[in-house]
Amino acid sequence: MIRSALMNVMTAAALKAGRGLKRDFGEVENLQVSVKGPGDFVSAADKRAEKVLYEELVKARPGYGFVLEESGEIEGPDKSHTWIIDPLDGTTNFLHGLPIFAISIGLQREGQLVAGLVYNPATDDMIIAEKGQGAYLNNRRLRVAARRDMGEALIGCGIPHIGKADGHARFRAEFDAVMGKAGNIRRLGSAALDLCFVAAGNYDGFWERDLQSWDMAAGIVIVREAGGYVTDADGGADMLAKGSICAGNDAIHRALLGLVKQP
Ligand code: IPD
Ligand code: CA
Ligand code: CA
């Protein structure tokens, strides 16, 4: 287990924001049956969680900058540290009452990702990693899967929603290529958790395009610290700038990249 001051700060903030999300998730069920649906309520829940995370982290580490999904960039006097935060990853799942969503907090130091936390308040799964210190799910050390045969691999992916229709044709081509070689494919709807499923060896690999830095920052550290390989979906090293990701153990990462990468 990682017992650093930094991780204490991150877990305390996530647990506090997570309490609110858990309560709000309980409410969503009641709102499903209304004609208007829970949309506005969920977006308010999302913003509330982000406010708690911001307040807790700025109190504990005054000066660090922020990249927040809902509030955008907030610069701090300390230019070497930036929190990269998604207060609710898996909004569609949350909205539909599916317990696959998470808070995601990544920390960049001098431009390098050094710590990551992904917390699912519905299951109480807390996944943490710090550079050089391993990745943990609650108290269990995580390792990526050892499977090397693509034909036996379970691969996770992300499907572009209706608002991202310009990505549909490319996704179909990639899906076809992976479906022809992989054991099977899943789409669970939270990129942050998807990366944790790679780290925990549930998935053998994962790829997705058209992501934002806050969907991936924490998960990247977690996969690496679990012994996994991460690049963007075309094999480059700057996932955050490119907005895409491919992850797995060395063999599955290489094979998956060969199927999805663009020349
Ligand atoms: C989304 C989730 C989803 C991915 C989308 C993201 P959100 O984040 O990570 O799995 O496919 O591209 O936007 O909107 O739920 O925070
Ligand atoms: Ca997200
Ligand atoms: Ca989000």
Cα four-point dihedral sign 220, 221, 224, 228: negative
**Tens of pLDDT, residues 150-204:** 999 999 999 999 999 999 999 999 999 999 999 999 999 999 999 999 999 999 9
Mutate-to-test residue for ligand 1 from 47, 85, 91, highest number of ligand atoms within 8 A of CB: 91
Count how many domains the chain has: 2
CA distance 247 to 192: 12
217 in the same domain as 114 = no
65 in the same domain as 21 = yes
Pick from 122, 141, 160: which residue ends a domain? 141
pLDDT at 105: 98
11 in the same domain as 137 = yes
Q: Which residue's alpha carbon is nearest to atom 13 within ligand 1?
A: 211
Assess whether pLDDT exceeds 90 at residue 103.
yes
155 in the same domain as 66 = no
CATH number assigned to the domain comprising residue 175: 3.40.190.80
Instruction: Spell out which residues line ligand 1, taking CB within 6 angstroms.
Output: 86, 88-91, 158, 189-191, 208, 211, 215
242 in the same domain as 122 = no
pTM given for the model: 0.97
Q: Which residue's alpha carbon is nearest to atom 2 within ligand 1?
A: 190
CATH number assigned to the domain comprising residue 74: 3.30.540.10
Q: Which residue's alpha carbon is nearest to atom 14 within ligand 1?
A: 91
| pLDDT band per the 50, 70, 90 thresholds, residue 206 | very high
84 in the same domain as 207 = no
18 in the same domain as 134 = yes
Rounded mean pLDDT, 84-100: 95
Dist. CA 190 → ligand 2 center (Å)? 7
Assess whether pLDDT exceeds 80 at residue 73.
yes
Dist. CA 46 → ligand 2 center (Å)? 11
Let me know if 251 is exposed, middle or buried by CB neighbors in 10 A (0-12, 13-18, 19+). Answer: middle
Atom number, ligand 1, closest to the C-alpha of residue 194: 10
Atom number, ligand 1, closest to the C-alpha of residue 159: 11
E strand segments, the chain: 64-68, 72-74, 78-89, 102-109, 112-120, 125-130, 135-137, 140-141, 154-157, 184-186, 205-209, 229-231, 244-248
Q: For residue 231, what are the domain limits?
A: 150-260
Atom number, ligand 1, closest to the C-alpha of residue 164: 12
CA distance 205 to 127: 18
pLDDT at 21: 96
Dist. CA 214 → ligand 2 center (Å)? 6
164 in the same domain as 89 = no
Please provide the average confidence, as pLDDT, over all residues in the chain: 96
Pick from 99, 122, 141: which residue ends a domain? 141
Pick from 141, 166, 188: which residue ends a domain? 141
223 in the same domain as 160 = yes
53 in the same domain as 155 = no
**Tens of pLDDT, residues 13-50:** 999 999 999 999 998 877 776 766 788 888 899 999 99
pLDDT at 12: 98
